[in-house]
Structure 1
Amino acid sequence: MNAIISASELASDLAGEHPPVVLDVRWQLSMAKAAGEPAFDGRAEYEAGHVPGAVFVDLDRELASAPGAAGRHPLPDVADFGAAMRRAGVSAAVPVVVYDGGQGWAAARAWWLLRWTGHPDVRVLDGGLPAWEGALSVDVPSPAEGDFEPAPGAVGLLDADGAAALARSGVLFDARAGERYRGDVEPIDRVGGHIPGAVSAPTTENVGADGRFLPAEELNARFKALGAAGDAEVGVYCGSGVSAAHEVLALAVAGIPAALYVGSWSAWSSDPQRPVAVGPEPQ
């Protein structure tokens, strides 16, 4: 099954006899508080207009637990996540489509969590809401309670030790911008740099100017050139496990399975005992 869906395909499915559950996960990483500006409000954006029938999901509250030593967006409590998905109308036998404001990171986080907890049919709207060509709705639906019961472990998950080991035995991709990987700048976490052995693979290079994923064959060629070839095990991390989920999604489009280090750099760098590499090479 393809991990992404086009806007035209989604419109057709919504008009069909068995429409998917649609989740709106508009979110963005913001430095607004530090800049003294209003924070991004995904719910307000949703209420101003969304794909008809879509239900809003809050990434910070429903797709992550409180920030701390485990990172800025640790895994949510599984029971809480399951309850949130059921409230949104998610059932095991009903397809789910997830979208965000176009960047794709938040939608990919929801996609990964649903896949990790065992939902068999989840796709991300390629290009997000900007790709949607139909009318938008301001009606907030009240979906019937779903029956989804999460069963974690369906796809790969890494902890810090697992990520460190994979950087040596397989391929560990760092999905952040190159300057953060190199340690030139670090606007959020304690220190800049990367996990020793990790390969720089910014997730922004997996999409075109329109925010849609590059063709599968191009993505496959990109990742193979970066080391994801043959039987190599692949993992991904980023700053806090959000943009890395988007890279895991890109790898899925390319036909390459990959595990996610959810704690990512925010968890790794918070532990002063963990080694830090800097510069353009994996080391």
Structure 2
Amino acid sequence: MNAIITATELASELAGSTAPVLLDVRYQLGGPPGRPEYEAGHLPGAVYVDLDSQLASAPGPAGRHPLPDLAAFGDAMRAAGVSAGRAVVVHDGGQGWAAARAWWLLRWSGHPDVRVLDGGLAAWKEAGGAMSVDKVTPRAGDFTPAPGALPLLTADEAAALARRGVLLDARAAERYRGEVEPIDKVAGHIPGAVSAPTTENVAEGGTTFRDASELAKRFASLGATEDAEVGVYCGSGVSAAHEVLALAVAGIPAALYVGSWSEWSNDPSRPVATGPQPG
């Protein structure tokens, strides 16, 4: 099953007999909150999901966006209408990072049919998709999280993978090199990790993914192929989920280090590399 869906394909499915559940995960690091934008206009039937409170636990030693409490996550998904036997399509304002976080969490916790709207809300509007300001009250779903369907890395496992396989750093290249660090305590990268900015997975100047063959070629140049053991991290496990999604589009399975650099750099005992090379 493809992990992404175009706006045209989504419109067709919404007009069918069994429409997918729509989740709107508009999010911007540092704000403003996405709910006011959602209430000002959203896809008909879409339910707003808050990344900070529903797709993550509170920030702490485990990072800025640790895994959510599974019981709370299950409650939030059922309240949004998510059921195990019904397809889910997630989207955000266009960047795709927040939508990818929702995609990854649902897939990791056992939902079999989740896709991301390629290009998000911008692509939907460009395709002439309808918008609504109606309040959405979904029928409660029956989804119960059963984690483990996608691979997950701890800090120690990420370090080991960087030595024996391919660990991709999805942050901007200047953060990888340690030239700047606008958020976390320490600048640099996990020793052995390869720089692979998430922004290079989408079409230049846009928000839609490059096609699968282009993505496969890009990742192969970094050592990430179907036969390699691949992991991804970023600042807090959000943009890295987008990279895992891009890898899935390319046919390459990958594990996610959710704690990412915000967890790694919070522990002074962990080594840090700087510069353009894995180190």
Residues in 2 aligned to 1:29 and 1:144: alpha-carbon distance in whole angstroms: 30
For residues 204 and 231 of structure 1, what CA distance do their matches in structure 2 show?
Answer: 24
Residue 47 of structure 1 aligns with an amino acid whose one-letter code is E
Deviation at 1:230, TM superposition (A): 5.4
Q: Please list the CA deviations of residues 131-161 of structure 1 after superposition, one character each: whole Å capped at 9, or x if unmatched.
A: 0021210012111110000000000000000
Residue pair 2:192, 2:278 contacting (<8 A) in 1 also: yes
Return the alpha-carbon distance in structure 1 between the equivalents of residues 120 and 166 of structure 2. 29
SS of equivalent residue, structure 2 residue 241: helix
- Cα distance in 1 for partners of 2:135, 2:24 equals 11
> How far does residue 278 in structure 1 lie from its aligned partner after superposition?
0.1
Tell me, in whole angstroms, the C-alpha distance in 2 between the residues paired with 1:214 and 1:11: 21
CA distance in 1, matches of 2:82, 2:251: 26
Residue 257 of structure 1 corresponds to 253
**Do structure 1's residue 119 and structure 2's residue 111 form an aligned pair?**
yes
1:41-98 Cα shifts (integer Å, max 9, x gaps): 2000000000100000000000000000000000000111011000000000000000
Secondary structure of the corresponding residue to residue 40 of structure 1:
coil
Tell me if structure 1 keeps the 8 A contact 2:264–2:270.
Answer: yes
What is the match of residue 226 of structure 1?
Answer: 222
C-alpha distance in structure 2 between counterparts of 1:56 and 1:230, whole Å: 35
Who is 1:214 aligned against? Answer: 210
Q: Which residue, out of 44, 58, 71, partners 1:52?
A: 44
Q: Write the mapping of 1:161-240 to structure 2, written as runs, cut at 5 A.
A: 161-208=156-203, 209-229=205-225, 231-240=227-236
Equivalence for 2:136:
141
**Residue of 235, 241, 246 corresponding to 1:245:** 241
Percent identity of paired positions between Structure 1 and Structure 2: 76
- Give the match for residue 20 of structure 1: 20
**Size of the alignment, in residue pairs?**
275
Name the SS of the counterpart of 1:186 in structure 2.
coil
What runs of 5+ residues in structure 2 fail to find an aligned partner? Answer: none
TM-score scaled by structure 1?
Answer: 0.96
3-state SS of paired residue (1:110): helix
What does residue 35 of structure 1 align with?
none
Shift of 1:28: 1.1
Please give the secondary structure, in 2, of the residue aligned with 1:172. Answer: strand
2:103 is aligned with 1:108: no
Let me know the Cα RMSD of the aligned residues.
Answer: 0.6
C-alpha deviation, 1:174, in angstroms: 0.1
Could you tell me the TM-score, scaled by structure 2's length? 0.98
Give structure 1 regions of 4+ aligned residues with deviation exceeding 3 angstroms.
Answer: none
1:203 maps to a residue whose letter is T
Query: Are the counterparts in 1 of residues 46 and 136 from structure 2 also a CA contact under 8 Å?
Result: yes
Instruction: Tell me, yes or no, if the aligned pair for 2:216 and 2:225 is still in contact at 8 Å.
Output: no
